[in-house]
């Protein structure tokens, strides 16, 4: 399959937005990158995560901690194996995370009823109370970051993203 060579750099009329704007940097043509879903999804995710880190710092939760705690809260008795599978994490990277949450008194480890190898994870009342607040903060921050979207567009975006990774 042939393809046209690299598009010409458009010498005539490049997108210029620096007209009389004091210390702006010369803009760059990223037209091609903007056609890539991976590029745009990553940039959007990082933009949201940046604010997430700020707002959730008072709870001592980073994105992965938050995802794990939320999943434990909504699935009492869930195992590490299940968390790894559903959140796409690797077992060795979950160990320290779980230990940290336990030492903070946010979760408890109980023997699994049917499988002696596994350990059931449960949120403590303290952990549950923290996550009610944390989830509320996360939801608020998300609405701020997606303020340019209508509720319908927001719903559409969530559904389309899930069509990619699920």
Partner DNA sequence: TATTGTTATACTCTATAACTATA
Partner DNA sequence: TATAGTTATAGAGTATAACAATA
Of residues 20-39, which lie at the interface with its own copies (CB under 8 A)?
25-39
In degrees and rounded to multiples of 5, residue 17 shows phi and psi of -120, 10
CA 165 to chain centroid, in Å, comes to 13
DSSP label at residue 34: G
The answer to the question of residue 57 lying near its own copies (CB under 8 A) is no
Residues β-bridged to residue 78: 121
Least Cβ distance, residue 1 to DNA (angstroms): 28
The answer to the question of residue 139 lying near its own copies (CB under 8 A) is yes
For its own copies, which residue of 47, 93, 99, 100 counts as binding (CB under 8 A)?
47
Q: Which two tokens stand for residue 49?
A: 């995560």
Binding site partner of 161, from DNA, its own copies, none, Cβ cut-off 5-8 A by kind: its own copies
Least Cβ distance, residue 101 to its own copies (angstroms): 16
Locate tokens 């991976």: which residue?
A: 38
Other Cβ atoms less than 10 A from the Cβ of 68: the count is 25
Binding site partner of 150, from DNA, its own copies, none, Cβ cut-off 5-8 A by kind: none
**Per-residue x/- track, 58-97, its own copies (CB under 8 A):** -----x---x--xx-xxxx-x--xxx-xxxx---------
Residues β-bridged to residue 122: 108
Q: What 3-state class would DSSP assign to 120?
A: strand
Binding site partner of 74, from its own copies, DNA, none, Cβ cut-off 5-8 A by kind: its own copies
């Amino acid at each position: 399959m042939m393809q046209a060579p690299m598009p010409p750099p458009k010498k005539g009329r490049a997108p210029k937005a620096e007209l009389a704007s004091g210390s702006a940097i010369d803009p760059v043509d990223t037209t091609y990158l903007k056609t890539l879903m991976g590029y745009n999804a990553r940039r959007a995710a990082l933009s949201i995560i940046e604010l997430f880190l700020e707002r959730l710092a008072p709870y001592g939760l980073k994105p992965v901690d938050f995802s794990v705690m939320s999943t434990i809260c909504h699935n009492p008795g869930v195992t590490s194996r299940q968390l790894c599978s559903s959140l796409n994490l690797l077992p060795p990277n979950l160990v320290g995370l779980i230990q940290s949450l336990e030492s903070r008194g946010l979760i408890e480890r109980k023997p699994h009823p049917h499988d002696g190898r596994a350990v059931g994870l449960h949120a403590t009342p303290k952990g549950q109370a923290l996550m009610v607040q944390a989830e509320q903060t996360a939801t608020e921050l998300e609405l701020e970051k997606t303020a340019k979207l209508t509720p319908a567009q927001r719903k559409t975006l969530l559904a389309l993203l899930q069509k990619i990774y699920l």
